[in-house]
Structure 1
Amino acid sequence: MVEKLTLLDATILPDHTRLTAADECYFWREYTSGRNYAFGPGNDLVSNLKKKPSRSSAAEMGYKRRAIAACSGFFRTAIHPDWLNTATFVPIPGSKAVGDPDFDDRMTEIFRGIRTHPPIDVRKMIVQVTSTAAAHESASGERPTVEDLIANYQIDPQTLNPAPTNIGIIDDVLTAGVHYRAVHTLLRAQFPTTRIVGFFVARRVFPPEHNEIDLGEIDLA
């Protein structure tokens, strides 16, 4: 069976509180919060993508590279060729800034791993200034807000030209949508009329018994 992207529609929009009905976002798999890598293919894929460079063995990083390649292969067939050939793909920065031992550019690697001729346009327009704790490592009242993220993001002016025809904001896991909203806000200010679409490897879902805590839950950096 050929897997396809799923549009985030009105039936699941309430799971991602910082998105609105005007947002056009697509995802591949579902990551179940509070469950470890063995829970299903979405958890396994995200677990491997999230492996931290400073804390992973060579074998573990091999799993990460295979997960990146799997994502490249999926998006290569799931996104229409017209979009791949005309859009500019902008990664959402991770929680670690460039130079941090755990800086991770996995979304750039995934989309630059999509083999097309000519190569697709991937631009790191948004740069994180300082490293922060991963959202899940902070208490609920201390997690970054959209405003916090915007204050810690910079636009790289060297990446703005030529102006994009379409923009694809790319990230691994969609949770509340705070990071997407911050990046979308900055890009919309730069390109008021450009179509902006979100593409995610997975979206977070909760199991029915989501108040239970599994100590095997992974790091959503």
Structure 2
Amino acid sequence: MRLTLIDELTRSQHPFLTQDDRCLFFGEYTARGGYAFSDTNDLIHNFKKGVEKKGRAEWAYKEWAIKRVAELINSISDTDQLTFVPVPPSKSRQDPLYDERLISVLQICQQTKPVTDFREMVYQKVSMDASHTIQDRHSPDDILMNYGFNQELALNTRNNIVIFDDVLTAGSHYKAMKSLIKHHLPDKNIIGVFVARTARNAEWISEF
């Protein structure tokens, strides 16, 4: 897996992205493809295992996936020039189903590569249904209204801010994050880095 830029050929598969959005991904995830469809599908399915499965034998696969994603992030050469901002999970911190998988990845990265800088400056106010579990997906505006911003954690960030998430689908969470961060930190460069992008067909795209 290596970082690939979303370009004119793939941008249309992510309806909320525009030409000024710079987003990169490591692999392609095929929705409804199952674990065995590809290595990326296997990684994403295990990475997204719900916290209610903690304590079961299968939890070891989630721990493996977290470590594997950390290896991918550590492969980025210019980490010392970046500040990572993880996309908050759909559940708030107070929710028993809160999943800190993205934070766990960045903590491992910081332990193995101390120059790694990450800030949880964006947080979810209240729990929402995960986008992949509902028929009518949340718009960037819906998501933005439920985001809060911690100004103290935004102090002394690096010039290049990376919005970090596991899967790029429509791009709604990325756009909400970018809008909020740009409002508070207008002079920063903002890009998106995703473990995978969802490859979609024209029929799905036409629904947006």
- Same fold, TM exceeding 0.5? yes
2:126 corresponds in structure 1 to 130
Q: CA RMSD in A?
A: 1.8
Deviations 1:76-100 (A, max 9, x none): 11x12x3x11211000111111021
Which letter maps to 2:132? H
1:76 corresponds in structure 2 to 74
Deviations 1:131-174 (A, max 9, x none): 1111122222xx21111111100001220111432101000000
Deviations 1:23-57 (A, max 9, x none): 11110111101221111111100000010011355
Q: How far, CA to CA, are the matches of 2:66 and 2:113 in structure 1? A: 20
2:158 corresponds in structure 1 to 164
1:23 corresponds in structure 2 to 21
Superposed, 1:1-221 pairs within 5 Å as 3-77=1-75, 79-80=76-77, 82=78, 84-114=79-109, 115-116=111-112, 118-140=114-136, 143-206=137-200
1:215 corresponds in structure 2 to none
Q: How far, CA to CA, are the matches of 2:115 and 2:124 in structure 1? A: 25
CA contact (8 A) 1:18 1:176 kept: yes
Bigger shift: residues 41-50 or 129-138? 129-138
Bigger shift: residues 150-159 or 56-65? 56-65
Q: Percent of counterpart pairs with the same letter?
A: 37
Unaligned runs of 5+ in 1: 211-221
Aligned length: 203
- Kindly state the Cα deviation for residue 116 of structure 1 after the two structures are TM-superposed: 4.8
SS at match of 1:54: helix
Bigger shift: residues 171-180 or 33-42? 33-42
Task: Please give the TM-score of this superposition, normalised by the length of structure 2.
Answer: 0.91
Deviations 1:185-209 (A, max 9, x none): 0011111121111100000013699
SS at match of 1:113: helix
Deviations 1:89-125 (A, max 9, x none): 0001111110212111111211221245534111001
Q: How far, CA to CA, are the matches of 1:136 and 1:104 in structure 2? A: 15
**Using a 3 Å threshold, how does the CA distance of structure 1 residues 209 and 150 change in structure 2: closer, same or farther?**
closer
Unaligned runs of 5+ in 2: none
Q: How far, CA to CA, are the matches of 1:137 and 1:68 in structure 2? A: 22
Q: How far, CA to CA, are the matches of 1:24 and 1:176 in structure 2? A: 14
Task: Please give the TM-score of this superposition, normalised by the length of structure 1.
Answer: 0.86
